[in-house]
Amino acid sequence: MRTIVSKVMATLSVAAVLTLAACQPDQKTISPDPNQGKTPPKDTTRPNPNNGGDVSVYKRVKIAWSASDYVEYVMDGSNKILRYWSQYIYIQGTDKLHLRFYDFVYNEKQEVKRLLLDNGAYVTYTYYGGQVSHTEEFAANGKLLATRDYSYSADGKQLTGIQEYQFLGTVKSGMRYEFAYTNGNLTEIRQLQESSEKEGVYALGMVTRFAQYDRQKNVENLSTIYPYLPDVVFRVNNPGLVTFYNADGTEITNARKQYTYTYNAQGYVLTRKESGAGGTSSADYTYTGL
């Protein structure tokens, strides 16, 4: 059974791009679109991965902890993500399931323009120089929930920062995330929280570190952050250790996760075992069309 944990990687927020740029001068900050902040007309078009042809032409990756607890990625023949499913038991010890799916809608340049949730909520994407520069997250009623701006390395290959603002009623709160990599693999996420008393002032909240990478293929880039960024590569391999730290540098030891894997002949993960303070869990990976 999957352990449902609140993690930095699940929902990222962002705050001061200019502070991030000052800390890491070799980065470039993508300029936002002048139309950002305007509520666009709602697009309810949903692609159906199984429509218009044999489902075997599509590629699938499924990661299952049990028959009722899994995530699944559905892609077209060119590896373009069409839909992401997530299902799990949300009340342990019962058969009450939570099922959520996300549909990816593309523009004429084959860039994601919208992410549509099954509950009617949606996310819009803005691009600059071929990269996602800005996203806006909306509730099903069109209310703006969050905005995010994205910064990349000087060569444009890696996401290095996210500036996020969340809106709850009349309250606007800022978060910032900074990313570090080694050999193409994400090694650290720094989460900073904006001061509630002074706008634009941030303090470190938590640090997440990834280590002990294997040399096999990673298929889980999509689920690293939300809103999902299908074209961003956070890892080329699979981490063996994930650790969490407080702002003062002390480790949150009961959150430490250790991973071991088995692989198929193509270098894809077949099984993953997670060990931590809460016990162990195992996941099976299945592939179609890869």
Chain-centroid distance, C-alpha 230: 9
pLDDT band per the 50, 70, 90 thresholds, residue 29: very low
Q: How far apart are CA 35 and CA 124, in angstroms?
A: 12
Whether 54 maps to a domain, the answer reads no
Whether 77 maps to a domain, the answer reads yes
- Residue 136: its pLDDT value, please? 98
Question: What does the pLDDT average to over 117-129?
Answer: 96
Whether 43 maps to a domain, the answer reads no
Number of structural domains, the chain?
A: 1
Whether 218 maps to a domain, the answer reads yes
pLDDT score of 109 more than 80: yes
Query: In this predicted model, which residue has the larger pLDDT, 120 or 31?
Result: 120
**Nearest CA-CA partner of 43 in 124, 149, 134, 135:** 124
pLDDT score of 145 more than 50: yes
Say if residues 181 and 20 touch (Cβ distance below 8 Å).
no
Whether 281 maps to a domain, the answer reads yes
**Nearest CA-CA partner of 62 in 289, 224, 285:** 285
Query: In this predicted model, which residue has the larger pLDDT, 15 or 260?
Result: 260
Q: How far apart are CA 217 and CA 62, in angstroms?
A: 15
- Residue 18: its pLDDT value, please? 25
* Host domain of residue 65: 17-30+59-288
Q: How many helices (H) and strands (E) does the chain have?
A: 1, 17
pLDDT band per the 50, 70, 90 thresholds, residue 57: low
3-state secondary structure of 133: strand
pLDDT band per the 50, 70, 90 thresholds, residue 21: very low
- Residue 2: its pLDDT value, please? 55
- Residue 177: its pLDDT value, please? 98
Whether 107 maps to a domain, the answer reads yes
Whether 5 maps to a domain, the answer reads no
Report the amino acid identity of residue 91. I
pLDDT band per the 50, 70, 90 thresholds, residue 35: very low
What integer best gives the mean pLDDT of the chain? Answer: 84
**Nearest CA-CA partner of 87 in 24, 159, 2:** 2
- Residue 16: its pLDDT value, please? 28
Tokens for 203, please give them: 């303090």
**Prediction pTM value:** 0.82
Whether 92 maps to a domain, the answer reads yes
pLDDT band per the 50, 70, 90 thresholds, residue 169: confident
CATH number of the domain residue 277 falls in: 2.40.160.190
**Nearest CA-CA partner of 163 in 127, 133, 184:** 133
Lowest-confidence segment of 45-54, 139-148, 258-267 by average pLDDT: 45-54
pLDDT score of 76 more than 80: yes
Return the beta strands (E) in the chain as ranges. Answer: 27-29, 59-66, 69-75, 81-89, 97-106, 112-117, 122-128, 131-138, 144-153, 159-168, 171-182, 185-194, 202-211, 241-246, 257-263, 269-276, 279-288
- Residue 49: its pLDDT value, please? 55
- Residue 284: its pLDDT value, please? 98
